[in-house]
Amino acid sequence: MCELFAMSSLTPAFVSFSFEEFVRHGGGTGVHADGWGVAFYDDRDVRIVREPTPACDSACVTLLHDHPILSRIVISHVRKATLGELALYNTQPFQRELGGRVHVFAHNGHMPGIGDLPAPGARRFCPIGTTDSEIAFCRLLEAMASLWDAGSAPSLADRFELVGTFAATVAGLGPANFVYSDGEAIFAHAHRRTQADKEIRPPGMYLLAGAAAPPPDAGVRIADGQRVTLVASVPLSDEPWRPLDEGTLLALVDGDVALEATTV
């Protein structure tokens, strides 16, 4: 399975991928060698770097390591392909515009039949690639459009409820861990994933909330003094990462867990 990582920070933080750690998870000694990507929000827009090749062979990873980017919201993904050829159009995170904001999505799992679900809207969002993850993102945005088309930003509670409904639906198809952001909040859904013993079970993600300093081996380096909350597919350090129960949905805002609920 793929691996996810996301960061929410109170103020813009310098985040750079530890080259050694990222290589380990992205094709060095690990199996996630089918592509990688990272999204850095910058006010109303987002910088996304992604490649359909192993991170261990990437000059871009070295560049991000040596020249960290300032951001309050970061979403990243390393791929172990289960559906769809190795191509840029199948490499996550994915992005789309809705309501004048850039929305970003990354998924870990397998959702057979996602394309057969009834579309909640007019299918204004179409996948470019061939992954179930991108189809799921399009379905989510079709549902979210009913909130964003009203002309003003919907409340966090309304967005959280709708994402929860979506998460409960796709979790019925298979493992559905995802991180999604609209530039203000990160919505993280923890479900089930393939564990070290090859069994598929919870936890699908882990949480490190309110980190006041960078975990020494967390796969990222965060400037001292920044308060952040991190979610990841697996613990990335010896810090007290909390395993998330199956169906846990979080809304991360300004470096804190703003909302938490269970979708099962």
Return d(Cα 99, Cα 169) in angstroms, integer. Answer: 24
Kindly state the DSSP code that residue 91 receives in the 8-state scheme. P
Return d(Cα 55, Cα 230) in angstroms, integer. Answer: 21
Under 8 Å between Cβ of 248 and 164: no
CA-nearest of 118, 14, 17, 15 to 3 is: 17
The tokens describing 28, both together, are 């060095």
Under 8 Å between Cβ of 229 and 212: no
Angle at 64 between CA 43 and CA 232, to 5 degrees: 75
138 has catalytic annotation: no
User: What amino acid is encoded at 181 in this protein?
Assistant: S
Task: Indicate the burial class of 71 (C-beta count within 10 angstroms; 0-12, 13-18, 19 or more).
Answer: buried
Return d(Cα 125, Cα 196) in angstroms, integer. Answer: 36
Under 8 Å between Cβ of 231 and 257: no
Describe the chain by its helix, strand, coil percentages, rounded to 5: 20, 35, 40
Q: From the candidates 2, 60, 126, 138, give the one annotated as an active-site residue.
A: 2
Residues acting as catalytic residues: 2
